[in-house]
Amino acid sequence: MLRLRLFDDVISGFGDDCKVGPAELEAVLTPGGKGNNAFSMADDHGQDTPLSIEISVKPMIRRSGAFDVRRGLFSGKRSADVDLTASPIHAVKKAKDVTGITPKSNERLTNGIISAVETLDIGNDMIADGSSKYSLPTISGKHSDLTAISPEVMADVIRGCFSDVIGDVTIVDCRYPYEFEGGHIRGAVNLYTKDEVNSLLQKPVADGKRHVLIFHCEFSSERGPKMYRFLRAQDRMLNSDRYPRLNFPEVYLLHGGYKAFFNKYQDLCDPISYTPMLHENHAADLRHFRVKSKSWTGEDGNQKTSRRHRSRLCRHLSL
């Protein structure tokens, strides 16, 4: 049917002067037909031009299936030394050899991490590196991911009741300076920015000496927990190649913050006073230190402060 349509198109292209019918043209174009080399047309120069056309028949290319198509499409993205028939285990071993990690060293590293994780999963009484149990009695606080102590235990720490098991202790007060100056726990240090908290990790830690950190803010609901988590994240990053080792594996959060402690142990505060964060006489200080606490000088060394807080601070200073 397709061949007949082709003949009709060819004849119509010659116009009305064409003296060749469809049957004759088919006989000419059909290989081995009776019209081959027997029928000719005169050209403009009076020479006969054979109408038979030799059509070379090309062998059909056999397709081996969709796999060949995919292999052709992605052959440029696969390295030459990849064996598609190799087992997954063989491929993993080959990748380790290329990266320089021997199977034995990788196995020891993996087993060490698994052992550490299993140790930490035994119970919540293990400190963050799994080396020992917590030194201080803990309670269930508002933050399930953080280890908390009560104001009573905090008072015992200050009085030296745990000096036989704790080598050193640092009480980190994350409130703003005007709050700290208005009354703080005896012996506490005021670290309210991430830069200041991060500086704790830059100090050398004596091996075998248990150094305990206790974080708190006014209520231990936002600023204290935030700095606790930040220090732990930085500590993990600093010791990423020695997991689960930490500079400060034993860290606590004072439940209820400074307010709860001050209500029971005013004699252990210096001075014996309590300045709330939202004190009406420190509205300007609050705006200033809140902006400063949100800035973070990370590894790039560039201070990152939100544009909104900078504009608010400039507007306040212009008043």
Determine how many CB atoms are found less than 10 A away from the CB of residue 176: 24
DSSP codes joined into one string, 119-171:
HHTS-TTB-TTSSSB-SS--B--S-TTS-EE-HHHHHHHHTTTTTTT-SEEEE
Among 106, 122, 114, CA closest to 244: 114
Q: At 118, which helix (H) or strand (E)? A: helix 103-120
- Give the chain's end-to-end CA distance (angstroms, integer): 93
Which contiguous run of DSSP H or E holds residue 316? helix 307-318
Q: What is the rounded CA–CA span in Å between residue 21 and residue 69?
A: 45
| CA separation for the pair 297, 10 (Å, rounded) | 82
20 within 8 A of 8, measured Cβ to Cβ? no
Consecutive H or E run containing 270: strand 269-270
Active site amino acids: 217
What residue spans of 138-297 are helical by DSSP H? 151-158, 177-181, 194-198, 223-238, 257-264, 283-294
